Structures are given as structure tokens and as C-alpha cells.
Structure 1
């Protein structure tokens, strides 16, 4: 049974002759520099294991010398591993013959490099056809596939130009189109955007995410830029000295760093651009307008000490909001909750970024409802949670040094307003 698209198990690479001595020193906790000084060997990657699922963008990141570029070259065996295994589907790449390895590089995975790697004497179309050409694909077929790849990348109009006529960003788009023309299942991207200017780099990140929505490739992306990793990665592996420090989503790494290195590495990141409504939402207090009457709604408000509930149907589909005043009106005038609820309640999706929520909730008198794709209520976001996420302070310390939870905006509003005592 295929467990994942790419599976790496205990992968290790030591450069130099005294391999075993270097590995023994790693086990003793020696640093990469200490091992180099003592043995002359360099530990590029040590005991790395991870899985990449089909269609996932898996980002490997770290500072210079962390081993990330060595790791990606071990996956397609541009560098031979010292030990460990790499599986593509269920095929062990680390044990393949040269002929089988060549075939899998041509058909299953392609690599996009930092320096574009375009042939200056070939046109954009001819560069894009190159991988198909060396596979022996006929001229008409390879031209058709190359043009489709260029069209997907928005480059068909420049197919007859040469690389030196294009900007750096457009040259990198050609490199990406060339990789996609072979229709590989896996794309390996080694710092593909790091040589570009910041604005062009951001455009390329947008292009990659748009392209991924259409083609759904499995992508292993190398970068030293945490902002880039957080922006494009489904999951991130953070490396240091050849080892993986933590693997997780951007939210997991920011909110639950595995160690001090990860914590320090991520401390300057603007969490409001990474955390979403799902990360900060609170349970929603609701009333079912199909079964509840005014007295039930008012009793729930009194018990929970709030002055407003979200109104839903039996399947938790959002129908609006209900205040204590509206419930009292319904009871006094013998109306149903459906007759008096406010249908203009503001709602957001679970993946809405905190930085986007702030402007919406700043002047909102009520919490925002968080709903799924079918408009079912998942929770609420209150102003206090948004401010807490943006300042990265979810707890305060009281005078005894004990942690004390913040009072949320919803609680503050409740204390000020309360529920009508006559309800």
C-alpha cells in the first residue's frame, strides 16, 4: 500500500572519509563545527525522516549550512546518501539502478533551480521543450505540450523570444514551465525565487500558488525565508545543522515551537499574517430558531450571562443573531424567533487571516461568526482574541506570578450590558 508520495527514512549524508567517526560524534552531541575540526568530515544531513503527501506543498527551510539543499539533492540522488532510504510512491530511489533512476527523473520528478538554468541560444519555446526532447518525444507533440505549459504560466506570448530578452521573474517562469511540460508528479524547487527582487519574488509565489490550484503537483520547496515558507507551504520542516528541528503547519510551528531554536527563529514573524479565524475562535452560543422559543433563548442568555446569541437551524446553518431585546419583543408580541432575528450578522470563513479580521471587527458591536463552506457555525471571533493574536499575548501574569487568562471583549461587553433582569 502506498503510504505517501515521497517518504524519507533515516536519511544521512556525511561528506568526507571518516564517516563513521563523524556519526559517532553526532550521537555524542557534538556540533557540526566540532565534528569538522575533529574529523575533517562535514555532516550535511543526519537521520532525517518525513513524508510528503500527494498534492502537498512541503517546504524545507533553514539558514545557510542547515542542510536543506543537500537534502533535496538526496531525494533525487544528485547526491548519493551515506545511509537511509527515499521512496517515491513505493519505489526505493536509494537502491535504484542508474537506468531506473534516470527514468524516474525524466518522468516522475523535475527540479527547478535558483539560477534558472536556461539555454541562452534557445528560444523560450525551445527551452520549454528541452526535457521532452531528451526523452525522445516527437517535435509536434513536444511543441504542443510546451505551449500548454507556457500558457499555464502566462508566457505563451513570448515563446519566440530568448532568455536575455526577459526579466528575471519571467526567466524563472520559463524554468517552471519547462519542469511542468514533462508533466511530472513531483517538483523539487531549490531556492527557486531567492535570486529575485522582493516584489517579483512575491509575484512568483502568487503564480506558484495559482498554478498549484490548477495542476496539483507534489512540491518540495527549499527556502531560507520563513515568510515565504509560511505563505506557500502546507507544512514546513525547519532544519538546523543537518537535522530537522520541527515539522508542522505554519500555525503549529508559530504557536507550539518544539524548542528554543524554533522559538527564536520565528519570534519576529507577524503572527496576524499567519494565524486564522480557526486558531482564535471561541465556542459560539447559539439558539435553534426551528425548535427554540423566546423563553428558551432568554433562559440561555441568562445562564451564559450574555445579551446575544447566534441563530441557527437544526443543522447549525447560520440564520442571523438574536439579542435579548429582540427575544423580549418576540415573547411580548407572541412572535417566533425567526420573526425578530437580525439576518445581517457578519460572518467569516475559518481560513480568514487575523490581519484581515482586524479591520472587520474593529467597529463591529458584535462578535464575528465563523462558518464553514456550507454556512454552518463553527465558532465566533471576538475583538479581544484578535488583539491578543496580533500582540502575541494570550495570558497575563497576576501579582502572585500566576498566569491569568485575558478577559475577552465578549466578556467585557457582557459585564457592561448583561441581560435584562426582567427577561
Structure 2
């Protein structure tokens, strides 16, 4: 009798392990923890702090301080009633139903936590995704991504240093400028372009005497499709394109990147863009761990699951960007969006509650409901559509209303994790802190 079978026959609590504390994984852990407690629910993540991934473009621009924004997983575990384990998952043993969590070291290399094995009855993969370079030469070596808080912070510091260098160089070379190329005209690329433009102006106002963002910060957005935001309605795409152009951001469409070098981005049709900094936001793929499960993955490495979010191994479920969830339409899967991860987490709460209580599981499949899309176009404006396909076509919104609704998405995520009162207190505290902090992080 293996360990999994002995657990089932010994009457031990059904143990759910969730790998990945992103939007979907954390919401699932918090909701299950409040229902069933830490004996039933464990969240594993390689980092001690949770950051809402859609806000990483603000961290990269410096308009959001990740050290103030982050929420401690240990604090959340205590508040919400789940167990938190820190460390990167190295392996999954499906036969023994256990995972191996790597040791954790401090900056000096001393072991803080040893390598561990954790037993599960149900394992939920919620690992998210990483950037897909599509085998583009030089991209992995010279482009920065927004996959992690560390990469966002590294980009912010590099850009801040580059702006200071251009400011100093202006004394001898009035034509000195900082060229930033963003590869990928999806929501992340568009939002980052606008955020960098605004942040550049704010940094200059705080003490760069010779640097002017409108003149010396050259931002180019490169998109391979015929239009930016190609996954969204054309009206949204056009509105965003107009906004970027008004800000002086160069938009290049029908432009497939063929090579990235230390100082240039070259395209398949022979165009070349100077790039002191290159940010890659052109696509996603599953993490390498997904390929080690010996189960089907799609062409971008996402684990293929059925309508109940089950893999071929019914003891392993998946949600969010790391999973390929069918929509019911031939060959189509649920898009990799935060709203999908939120919905999938809510679906799995009912399914896993049934497993924990040893009652029949819901039989109806998960159905993705497109509530629309919102894109931030700066601190004071946005653009988007509401209701998605529910009404046949979306309700177009723009300007300050769209921006306020975009901000509310972050609060909705906090509400799912923290509840209404703690979310309200947190929002008020951050609003008050802005009175004594610069609008962009300067160090």
C-alpha cells in the first residue's frame, strides 16, 4: 500500500496543496482556508510576498512601490486560515502524491529552510506563466520581462540610472537620449508604455535639470499583429493607439522582431530601433515544471485540463495561466486573464469543498464568462469594454471612468483575499501615504 492509499484509509484530513500564490492560487487558498482551516489547505510559493501581477508594469515604471504594495503570505495565512510553505517546487511525484520543495537560503548562502516533501490528496497547479521569447535570437540575453517583482524592480533601477546618465551627458552632448523599446502591443505593453512616459516626466521634475521626458525619452512599442490590443475590440485598440500617439509614443505594427542585441531591436522586414532598454511583453508560456508531470501540455507548455479543471490525473487540478481550459468552442481555450483565474478559483472552491467533506462533487463544467477588459492609459485615464460577449458586444468606456474601474479590479482582488473591512483600511492607508511620498520611486 503506498502513502497516498494509507492516507485515504487512515481517516486523515483531505489535504489540498496549491502551488503558486498568484491571483487565482491565493484567492483559492484564502477561500478554502476560511472554510476548512490550515489542516486541509497549504499554499506553496517561492516568494514570501504576494504582488498582484497586473500591477507589475507600475512597479517597473516606479509609480508603485512593491515593498509597500506587497502582502505577506504568512500574514495572509494567519488571517485566512491556511498553511503557507516558502520555497520553489522542484518535483511532483504523482505515484506517491507528494511534492519536493527546495531549500531556502539567505543572501549569504546559509540554509534557512531545508528541502522538504509535502504529501497531498489533491494538488492544484496555479503557477501562472513566464514570458515566451519564441526562440528570438538575443531576446533572453538582452530583453527584460515582467514575470517577477525582481525583474520589475531591476528594470526600474536600470531605467532610473539611464535617465541620470542621459541628464549628465546632456552637458556635453545635447542630443543624448534614452531609447526604450517595448516588444508586444498587448495590455501589458500598452500600459507599460504610458506608465513609463508619465514616470519619466515625474522623475525629471524631481531633480534632473537637463532631462526632459517629452524630448529625451523615446519609447517605441513594437507589435507583430496589424493593431495593438489585437485580442480586444477594434474600438478599444483605436482609442489606445490614439492615446499613445498623443503622448509621443511611437507605435509600430505588423512588425515581427527577428533579433534583440545589447543596443538595438531588429525586425524581420529590416527595420531597426535603437534600444538602450528592451522590455519583452510579447507572449506567455508555461513553467518548465509543467512539462515534468508526464501529462499532455499544449504548444506553449500549459497543462491541458478538462471542463472540471482536472488533468488526466484526477488528483491534479490546474487554474490560471498555467492551464489550457476548454471554452466549449472547437480548439479554443480560456484566455490568460486575471478574471479567468478569479472565476476558476471560485469554481474550485465548491469542487474541493466536496472532496474535503467527502460529498459528491459538482458535475457541471466551468464556464468562462467574459466581463470585458480594461486597459490603464495612465494615472488619470483608461479605455475598455464592459460585459464582453455577454451582450453580443461590449459597452465602450474611456477616460477617468475607465481608469477608476481599472483601479477597482485591484480592490476586488484584495476583497476576495482580505474581506471588505481590511481592504477598505488598506486602500485608505495607501491614499494617505501618497501625501508624504513622491509619485514615483526615486531610489
If the length of structure 2 is used for normalisation, what is the TM-score? 0.21
Structure of higher CA gyration radius:
1
If the length of structure 1 is used for normalisation, what is the TM-score? 0.22
